Amino acid sequence: MSGSEWIIEAHGCGADSLRDLPRLQLLFQNIIDGMNLHPVDSGNWHQFPGPGGITGLRLLKESHLACHTFPEYGSLCLNVFCCKPRPDWDFESILQGLFDAHSVKVRRIERPYA
């Protein structure tokens, strides 16, 4: 048995979109719905003052979903960990659509338990 973890880096994003909490919450909801995940809470969010970004965490029955945005660099870092294998998901399209990302790098890591 093993889990799957996705590490996603999006670059060239619009700075204002990376400071937009409702947009990040929509991203999380799209991932939760699209990957058939099961949240155990409503999430925790921290918005840094001024031109800073946002850090978010959502606990899942499957493990967690986390993000960090860096408006000053136009980047968004996303992490999804599932304790059971899941099919890949189209992170690139949603990040391009919501944040105007120019490049998206997705790495999938299998996490064996034994």
Q: Which fold has domain 2-109?
A: S-adenosylmethionine decarboxylase (3.60.90)
Cβ contacts of residue 100 below 8 Å, gap of 6+? 12, 13, 14, 17
Per the annotation, the verdict on 38 as an active-site residue is: no
Average the pLDDT over 67-71 and give the result.
Answer: 98
Q: What is the DSSP string of 64-110?
A: EEEEEEETTTTEEEEEEEESS------HHHHHHHHH--SEEEEEEEE
The full set of domain ranges for the chain reads 2-109
With a cut of 80, say whether residue 1 has pLDDT above it.
no
DSSP lists the bridge partners of residue 10 as 76, 104
Per the annotation, the verdict on 13 as an active-site residue is: no
What's CA 38's distance to the chain center, in Å? 15
Q: What is the pLDDT of residue 87?
A: 86
Catalytic annotation, pick one of 63, 67, 75, 82: 63
Q: Using one digit for the tens of pLDDT, what is the confidence trace for 34-56?
A: 999 999 999 999 999 989 999 99
Per the annotation, the verdict on 77 as an active-site residue is: no
Average the pLDDT over 10-20 and give the result.
Answer: 97
**Overall pTM surpassing 0.85 (yes/no):** yes
